[in-house]
Amino acid sequence: MKYDVAVVGAGFSAIAVTINLMRQLPASARIAVVGDDPGFGRGTAYRSEFHLHRLNVPAARMSIDPEAPDDFLTWLHDHDRAIGGHDFAPRSDFGLYLRDRLAALLRERDSRAKVDFIKAKAVGCLDIGPETTLIRLDNGDGLAVKATVLCLGVGAAPLPLPGDAIAPSTRAAIVENPWRLSWLSKVGRHDRVCMLGSGLTMVDQVLALRATGHRGQIHVLSRRGLLPHAHEVHHAAAVPPDLPHGDRRLSALLAHLRRKVREGAPWRAVMDGLRPHTQRLWQELDEAQKARFLRHGLAWWTVHRHRLAPDVGESLKELVAQQKICVHAGYLNRIEATDPGVTLSYRKRATSTIERLTVDWVVNCTGMERAGIRHSPLLQAMAGRGQLQGDPLGLGIVVNGQSQLIARNGETHRHIYVVGALTAGRFWEITAVPDIRVQAHAVARDICGALEMAPA
């Protein structure tokens, strides 16, 4: 089968690229969307039906189209949702919005590029000519395409322990991938649960557990024991960072931001003001400074930057105040079987004291995998053939400024693009909708130019 473009993936990145291609390519173009997930476009993030699983970005910033920033708000109002621009809509609504926007374009079939949705996993991506790539699918089919966009997301992070530190008999009590929400129905009402990791994934899982009637003790264990902050109910306008000229050291940047807060600017507004500059600032750091940031600053960055909806933050605060959630800071050493339950040993942070915690369930809430290659047979196969190189800091795979894939020998694959969190090494801030939509738009524009197809 021959196509002009193959979009590989089934999450937000894939739907954003597809919509942009449909808008930009002429009606004669043919697009294949290869996804292994029946809920196309929703991915892990937007398939949850729990009402308290909210977006962590205000509705006014969640339009799929960077050129029509109010589009999501318009959809919400058209669907009688009483949600304002600074509010945090349920994630399921965002999934419905994406589906509707795609469906509207598909209805304009005579004037738009044709799209075939193929439910399969891509397992290979081979150049078979200067202008043609063969996408191999796990059902045995192959697609010959002129341009490919890999929108594969990143998988769930593995347990933060080597396999030999986990007693095999404890495996049944360990939830390795909590995004498969089926684990919730197995937990007894008063079972003791330990969440490994204290970020947004943990909050999601705690709220889901409580919503299903769980009332037992929840422990949260992470290296620093830091909980995410919440957005303010009363939104303060972003404070532009007016960064000092010349000095691009990380320490100088942090000192500047701290000074702004000391001078009275709300810290959330300072963080928000930084956002449009983050990609550029990241690219100006050298490798050593990036590594330093990841080692020492990442945990702090994450809790300040990726914030909870205000009412979700309140629910979390209440659960902590009522000691329904007990937060521990330390380094996990072992998981052993005990009777009853399983026992986790951890070294308390900044001490040599070993603490023990006995629970019925251990849930891996360490979030998304950073390197992003381990979870993907496709990427592993491509790495094996030297078609890609892993980012030196473990942040996905190497791409150029146009999101085109760079091979191990340094050559650019001009017709293979990568969109989403796998490009974090290049762009850093590229895991959320406001950034991915801009990348998706630019990639579609580039493809349109490269295929020399007059725009629609």
User: What are the residues binding ligand FAD (CB under 6 A)?
Assistant: 8-14, 34-37, 43-45, 55-57, 91, 121-122, 151-153, 204, 376, 378, 420-421, 431-433
CB 415 within 8 A of CB 147: yes
152 versus 362: smaller Cβ distance to ligand FAD: 152
Tell whether omega for the bond before 69 is within 30 degrees of 0, i.e. cis.
Answer: no
* Minimum gap (Å) between residue 215 Cβ and ligand FAD: 24
Rounded-to-10 torsion of CA 170, 173, 176, 178: -170
Cβ neighbour number for residue 425 with a 10 Å cutoff = 23
Q: How far is CA 200 from CA 29, 56, 227, 304, in A?
A: 40, 9, 8, 12
Cβ neighbour number for residue 393 with a 10 Å cutoff = 16
What is the per-residue DSSP string for 21-90? HHHHS-TT-EEEEEES-SSTTTTTTT----TT-B-SS-GGG--S-TTSTTHHHHHHHHTT----TTS--B
CA distance 168 to 234: 49
* Minimum gap (Å) between residue 11 Cβ and ligand FAD: 2
* Minimum gap (Å) between residue 138 Cβ and ligand FAD: 8
Of 228, 249, 256, give the one whose Cα is nearest residue 293.
249
Q: How far is CA 380 from CA 83, 130, 281, 300, 374, in A?
A: 43, 23, 30, 31, 7
* Minimum gap (Å) between residue 170 Cβ and ligand FAD: 26
Angle in degrees, CA 138, 136, 148, rounded to 5: 125
* Minimum gap (Å) between residue 286 Cβ and ligand FAD: 27
Instruction: Name the burial class of residue 227, with classes exposed (0-12), middle (13-18) and buried (19+) by CB atoms within 10 angstroms of its CB.
Output: buried
152 versus 444: smaller Cβ distance to ligand FAD: 152
CB 68 within 8 A of CB 103: no
* Minimum gap (Å) between residue 343 Cβ and ligand FAD: 29
* Minimum gap (Å) between residue 454 Cβ and ligand FAD: 28
156 versus 344: smaller Cβ distance to ligand FAD: 156
170 versus 278: smaller Cβ distance to ligand FAD: 278
CB 362 within 8 A of CB 174: yes
7 versus 173: smaller Cβ distance to ligand FAD: 7
Query: What does the block give as tokens for 198?
Result: 């204290």
Provide the residue type at 343 as one letter.
T
8 versus 453: smaller Cβ distance to ligand FAD: 8
State the chain's maximal CA–CA distance in angstroms: 69
43 versus 425: smaller Cβ distance to ligand FAD: 43
* Minimum gap (Å) between residue 367 Cβ and ligand FAD: 8
Grouping H, G, I as helix, E, B as strand and the rest as coil, residue 301 is: helix
CB 285 within 8 A of CB 250: yes
346 versus 417: smaller Cβ distance to ligand FAD: 417
In the numeric block, the tokens 């049944």 are attached to 172
* Minimum gap (Å) between residue 346 Cβ and ligand FAD: 25
Q: How many residues does the chain have?
A: 456
* Minimum gap (Å) between residue 366 Cβ and ligand FAD: 12
In the numeric block, the tokens 């809790």 are attached to 303
* Minimum gap (Å) between residue 177 Cβ and ligand FAD: 11
269 versus 422: smaller Cβ distance to ligand FAD: 422
For 69, half-sphere exposure in the C-beta direction (CA atoms, 13 angstrom radius) is: 6
11 versus 341: smaller Cβ distance to ligand FAD: 11
14 versus 175: smaller Cβ distance to ligand FAD: 14
